[in-house]
Amino acid sequence: MRIGLLTSGGDCPGLNAVIRSTVLHGVKSYGDEFLGLRGGWRGLIEADYTELTRHDVRGIAREGGTILGTSRTHPYNHPGGGPEGIARQMKRHGIDAVIAIGGEGTLAGAKRLADDGLPIVGVPKTIDNDLKATDYTFGFDTAISIATDAMDRLRTTGESHHRCMVAEVMGRHVGWIALHSGMAAGAHAILIPEQKVDVDQICEWVDQVHSRGRSPLVVVAEGFIPEGAEEALAAKGQEADGRPRLGGIGEFITAQIEERTGVETRNTTLGHIQRGGNPTGYDRVLATRFGMKALDLAHEAAWGHMASLRGTEIVKVDLSEAIDGLKEVPAERYEEAKILFGR
């Protein structure tokens, strides 16, 4: 087969490991040829590609980012796109199948194209871990380890100055990164969009810790809104696509804590460093297994499906499962972590 690979949406540590394993498995097991489509769906629509051999993917599993580049191009809205345009390009360039590696938006596009008759399979990716049809996505573990390391550092400077330290982490509309990195770093409060908490409660946790002579560490997910502060926060603005503006909530919480408790407080917005750099070993392995499974799915002609992690097994799931709303942090997971808040 001649297979096109594309990476679309925000980048994520592990994308290169998917590209590498797909190409190596395809060349060694099936005698496939590969085309690397540049800049997500745009590369497919505009036939902007490069041939990918086993030599091109040598050693890339350890590198962050994506050697193919990425974009948020929509396959139906881009000029020349849509099923007819894409089918024409695939025929002209002899592409038998496309493996689309991306998050919810990318997989929704892939599903729609597959429903419209195109030979497409998916690989789920996101640091946010918010895709329903898979237990974990690669990139998440790397983001956790970066955020945990950052909080360990915030703790030592916080302790030295007797300050409260606030760390704002990514996650878009869910709190997985905040929950896991906060638990790993032993944060005194974890604030996530799925759970309503008001500013009084946050200040109480901070006071409890501070009154024992310790420096409170608070982790807040970018999508968190304190109960009762919806209007005040609306003024902080949102991005055009409805996701929270980075830094907005961290700054807000920091100002509230300082004003109400009198404890000197500093905010750090971790931002895109959570998405950059080398993937962890776990993410490299997960991404590698996803890539190999997606290639097998293409050989099975399992169009409209993707690779997914269930327990320790990599399985096939329908793309419709992945795009059926977000996987939120369950209340019981939050309650479990909450037992250790304040202290």
- The CA-based angle 116-122-126, given to 5 degrees, is 130
Does 106 show up as a binding residue in the annotation? yes
- In angstroms, the CA 337 to CA 323 distance is 28
**Under 8 Å between Cβ of 107 and 99:** no
Determine, following the binding rule CB under 6 A, whether residue 327 of this chain makes contact with ligand F6P: no
Crossing angle of the two packed helices 199-210 and 248-261, in degrees rounded to 10? 60
Among 14, 171, 182, 250, binds ligand F6P (CB under 6 A): 171
> Which of the stretches 114-122, 169-177, 190-198, 326-334 binds ligand F6P when contact is defined by CB under 6 A?
169-177
Does 222 show up as a binding residue in the annotation? yes
The single-letter DSSP state of residue 112 is H
Among 100, 127, 218, 292, binds ligand F6P (CB under 6 A): 127
Among 22, 126, 268, 288, binds ligand F6P (CB under 6 A): 126
Q: Map the footprint of ligand F6P across residues 261-290, applying CB under 6 A.
A: 275
> Which of the stretches 82-90, 123-131, 250-258, 279-287 binds ligand F6P when contact is defined by CB under 6 A?
123-131
Give the pair of three-digit tokens for residue 169. Answer: 């982490």
Residue with Cβ nearer ligand F6P (11 or 207): 11
Query: Is 115 one of the catalytic residues?
Result: no
> Which of the stretches 21-29, 166-174, 213-221, 327-335 binds ligand F6P when contact is defined by CB under 6 A?
166-174
Q: Which amino acid is it at 233?
A: L
Quick check: helix, strand or coil at residue 323?
coil
Q: Which of 128, 130, 207, 283 is catalytic?
A: 128
Q: E strands, the chain, where?
A: 2-7, 33-37, 49-52, 97-102, 120-124, 164-169, 189-191, 217-221, 265-269, 305-310, 313-318
Shortest CB 280 distance to ligand F6P, Å: 17
- In angstroms, the CA 343 to CA 339 distance is 9
Among 4, 10, 36, 279, binds ligand F6P (CB under 6 A): 10
Q: Map the footprint of ligand F6P across residues 210-269, applying CB under 6 A.
A: 222, 243
Q: Which amino acid is it at 198?
A: D
Quick check: helix, strand or coil at residue 87?
helix
> Residues marked as binding for Mg(2+)?
104
- Catalytic residue list: 128
Judged by the rule CB under 6 A, the positions of this chain that interact with ligand F6P are: 10, 103, 126-128, 170-172, 222, 243, 275
> Residues marked as binding for ATP?
10, 72-73, 103-106
